[in-house]
Amino acid sequence: MQTWFNPARGLEEAIASLSSLEADFRPDVRIADPRFGDFQANGVLPYAKARKANPRALATELVSKLRGNDAFAGLSIDIAGPGFINFVLSPAYLLNWMGDYKTGADLARGLAASGSHETVVVDYSSPNTAKEMHVGHIRSTVIGETLARLLAIRGDKVIRDNHIGDWGTQFGMLIWAVKNENYDLDHPGENVIGELQDLYAKGYAHYKESDEAAAKVREELVKLQNGDAENLAIWEKITSASKGAFDKIYARLDIHFDLTLGESFYRDKVERIYRELTETGLAVESDGALVVFHPEHKRFATQPFIIRKADGASNYATTDLATILYRVEELGATDIIYVVDSRQSDHFEQLFLTVEKWFKAKGYRLPRLRHVSFGTVLGENGKPFKTKEGGTVKLRDLLDEAVERSLTIVTTKNPDLPEVEKRQIAEAVGVGSVRYADLSQNRTSDYVFSWDKMLALEGNTAPYLLYAVARIRSIFRKAELAPGQGEEGALPFETPEELALAKKLAAFGPAMDAVFGDLRPHLLANYLFELSGTFSSFYNANRVMGEAAPVKARRLILCARTLAVMETGMNLLGLRVLERM
């Protein structure tokens, strides 16, 4: 019996190839409401509608062809209502599926089969140097990391690039303050970033004091940009200290970049941008600045895309243009994804429009450009997030708090575990909870920050998934078997809980298709939450140990496959799985 890794896709293709309908017929197979079946094909309805035909008759004709075909041997098929075609996977089919897709590697293979194998740059996290990472950075960082992992498992060549803000106007103030305070960058204190942030605040205050003071601050920036050795040395030390602080957070979140090419990397690449955009006629002078207008666009006909400021300096539009060129020419990117806050959607729309015209004029290969946007982190009052003191919550503090709360709980629930293991569990649960709180929500909606919500440990949260995995691990530990062992002689699934779990596992492929459709990780989180729930119901209703051999074997199969799917999915979300908790 033939099985499809992704039954929805398999059905889609098999139905299309067997039907004698015209080419515009799309079977439109999707997961069905369990009351009607496992999958349903709805495509005959719109097809019949377009031709004023009887959908029920068309469905009947189509189904008679499917029934005689080997590909549909393990499925029951029927027609309901106006022409829905419902499919139910047989227990034997499900058992076969479990035999074909056993391990994480099998699942990865199944996923990669439908990938397009691009070279894709994922641009995410992108904090500013000399500043502490705060809750505002968490979304880009964890969503970007998950997208990178998703694309990689689908078979893309992924290049993770941390486009840090290391060349902005903040350096004028920072350098001025470092000099004014005689801050010793070679022997910084414990909390370098905190101190740098204080220095920045002093520089900023000075900048605001008077015109003369502002001029001095600007002078430091100009010196830096002109390559002044002393200022460059200060800048380098600040950058290096900042990267060190970022790396601590990244290590904790298990995030790894292939490249960290910040804005400063492109500082000698902006002249070409000015030249090419001017010579292609895209950029024009306006109020002393060099800008791009898009006459065909309702707003961008008058809302400029400023690529060189009136004072001659570059800005982020310039470096973003240079960055795209670099990624295409030097990295071979066919696809570039920006994981950035939705407030910058105008910027990206202008950027992409400009690149399209520029690349077309120069005959450069145009990559696929996508802005994967996400909502803003808001406070409880619905305004952009600030603490009561007007500051931001540091990512470090958030993670520490989460781990502390988790430690309290693990100590209560499982007091006999060794201290070291309790701490490991608390770290995985705490950090995982913060991360999952973000990933389980639709990225496009705004995010209301709340300690309780971020650190919740029940319901649709990381611990719920981790707990399901720990229970499976525990079964194998008690059975003294490795996952994958003890499966011989299994009979097809029988109980409602077994069947529900088996079907949920076979729905992994369709769930992942939805995730890739619009790059929405929360659909993976939803799926894993549902899988955990289905497993928990199974666990409570059907014992594994102590059952007759054929029953035990088939339940061990379900445990092992659930484990493989959970581990694969959780790894994509960046959650570390646990043996016990």
Partner RNA sequence: GUGGCAGUAGCUCAGUUGGAUAGAGCAGCGGUCUUCUAAACCGCAGGCCCCGGGUUCGAAUCCCGGCUGCCACGCCA
Distance CA 13, CA 10 (A): 5
By CB under 7 A, which span of 109-117, 184-192, 266-274, 516-524 interacts with RNA?
516-524
Which listed residue (60, 76, 114, 376) binds RNA by CB under 7 A? 376
DSSP letter at 547 equals S
By CB under 7 A, which span of 30-38, 201-209, 226-234, 321-329 interacts with RNA?
30-38
Q: Pairing mode, if any, of strands 39-41 and 75-80?
A: unpaired
Query: Which one, 37 or 367, has the nearer CB to RNA?
Result: 37
Based on the shown chain and the rule CB under 7 A, indicate whether residue 31 belongs to the binding site for RNA: yes
Based on the shown chain and the rule CB under 7 A, indicate whether residue 374 belongs to the binding site for RNA: no
Smallest distance from RNA to CB 184, Å? 28
By CB under 7 A, which span of 9-17, 56-64, 283-291, 361-369 interacts with RNA?
283-291
Strand, helix or coil for residue 362: helix
Which listed residue (3, 6, 19, 86) binds RNA by CB under 7 A? 86
Residue 279, token pair as written in the block: 């010579």
Query: Which one, 193 or 581, has the nearer CB to RNA?
Result: 581
Q: How many residues does the chain have?
A: 581
**CA distances for 209 relative to 41, 198, 220, angstroms:** 69, 17, 16
Within residues 165-224, the interface with RNA by CB under 7 A covers 165, 168-169
Query: Which one, 90 or 315, has the nearer CB to RNA?
Result: 315
Beta carbons within 8 Å of 454's beta carbon, 6+ residues apart: 398, 402, 433, 434, 437
By CB under 7 A, which span of 141-149, 188-196, 223-231, 509-517 interacts with RNA?
509-517
Query: Which one, 1 or 289, has the nearer CB to RNA?
Result: 289
Within residues 546-575, the interface with RNA by CB under 7 A covers 546
Beta carbons within 8 Å of 552's beta carbon, 6+ residues apart: 486, 544, 545, 546
Q: Which residue has the tokens 């809750």?
A: 135
By CB under 7 A, which span of 109-117, 177-185, 356-364, 538-546 interacts with RNA?
538-546
Smallest distance from RNA to CB 349, Å? 8
Residue 310, token pair as written in the block: 């009136």
By CB under 7 A, which span of 147-155, 188-196, 247-255, 410-418 interacts with RNA?
410-418
Smallest distance from RNA to CB 84, Å? 3
Based on the shown chain and the rule CB under 7 A, indicate whether residue 429 belongs to the binding site for RNA: yes
By CB under 7 A, which span of 230-238, 275-283, 526-534, 563-571 interacts with RNA?
526-534
**CA distances for 62 relative to 36, 363, 370, angstroms:** 19, 48, 39
Smallest distance from RNA to CB 472, Å? 9
Based on the shown chain and the rule CB under 7 A, indicate whether residue 303 belongs to the binding site for RNA: yes
Based on the shown chain and the rule CB under 7 A, indicate whether residue 520 belongs to the binding site for RNA: yes
**CA distances for 543 relative to 31, 531, 551, 555, 580, angstroms:** 28, 18, 9, 8, 19
Within residues 228-247, the interface with RNA by CB under 7 A covers none
Q: Pairing mode, if any, of strands 335-341 and 119-123?
A: parallel
Within residues 457-486, the interface with RNA by CB under 7 A covers 457-460, 463-464, 467, 470-471, 473-475, 478
Based on the shown chain and the rule CB under 7 A, indicate whether residue 3 belongs to the binding site for RNA: no
Smallest distance from RNA to CB 390, Å? 15
Query: Which one, 257 or 348, has the nearer CB to RNA?
Result: 348
Query: Which one, 128 or 571, has the nearer CB to RNA?
Result: 128
- Strand locations in 312-428 (E): 335-341, 368-374, 377-378
Within residues 348-367, the interface with RNA by CB under 7 A covers none
Based on the shown chain and the rule CB under 7 A, indicate whether residue 45 belongs to the binding site for RNA: yes
5, burial (CB in 10 Å: exposed 0-12, middle 13-18, buried 19+): buried
Which listed residue (99, 104, 188, 375) binds RNA by CB under 7 A? 375
Q: How many CA atoms lie within 13 A of 397 on its CB side?
A: 11
Residue 532, token pair as written in the block: 């955990």
Based on the shown chain and the rule CB under 7 A, indicate whether residue 347 belongs to the binding site for RNA: yes
- Taking every pair of Cα atoms in the chain, the longest distance, rounded to a whole number of angstroms, is 88
Which listed residue (363, 382, 390, 415) binds RNA by CB under 7 A? 382
Smallest distance from RNA to CB 456, Å? 7
CA angle 412/416/421 to nearest 5° reads: 90
**CA distances for 72 relative to 22, 101, 121, 158, 175, angstroms:** 21, 19, 40, 37, 71
Smallest distance from RNA to CB 426, Å? 8
Are the C-beta atoms of 92 and 1 separated by less than 8 Å? Answer: yes
